[in-house]
Structure 1
Amino acid sequence: MLIDPNNPFFDRLWVRLICVAAPLAWAGVELWNRQFFWGAGFAAAGLYLAFALFVQRGR
């Protein structure tokens, strides 16, 4: 994994939500401005963080 989902930094739910929401929101900004490459990159990062911080956490 690129990040450690069991790091104490990610113990709080609001930290995990912000870490996932920020790149997904920025992907929306990039897609709104028709920058599809950057939008796809930030969307992939947000989805990866969602998977790592909510699915893989605790395994």
Structure 2
Amino acid sequence: MSFLDASHPFFRPLWRRVLVVAICIGWGLFEFVSGAPFWGILFTGAGAYAAWVLLIAKTPDDVKKE
């Protein structure tokens, strides 16, 4: 079981995968600017992990199988 399942049908469209990554990183940057470094690290880390799972490690072959 994975923390973020890239093979779930919800993540099939590219725009949803990019949006999830952008929201996580954007919220993390907002937290850094607001003066909450713990939450900033947490959300930017989640965004980096989501970018890896949803954009980098997900190959075009994975998309065709779905």
Q: So what's the TM-score if we normalise by structure 1? A: 0.89
Larger radius of gyration, structure 1 or 2? 2
Count, aligned residues: 58
Instruction: Give the conservation status (yes or no) of the 8 Å contact 2:18–2:55.
Output: no
Structure 2 equivalent of residue 14 of structure 1 = 15
When structure 1 is superposed on structure 2, of 1-10 and 36-45 the one drifting more is: 1-10
Q: Detail structure 1 runs of 4+ shifted over 3 Å in the superposition.
A: none
Percent of aligned pairs sharing the same letter? 34
Task: Specify every segment of 5 or more residues in structure 1 that has no aligned partner in the other structure, as ranges.
Answer: none
C-alpha distance in 1 between matches for 2:56 and 2:3 = 14
Residue deviations 1:4-57 (CA, integer Å, cap 9, x gap): 111111110110011100011001110001110000000000000000001222
| Structure-2-length-normalised TM-score | 0.81
Instruction: Report the aligned-residue RMSD.
Output: 0.9
Amino acid across the alignment from 1:40: I
Which runs of 5 or more residues in structure 2 are unaligned?
A: none
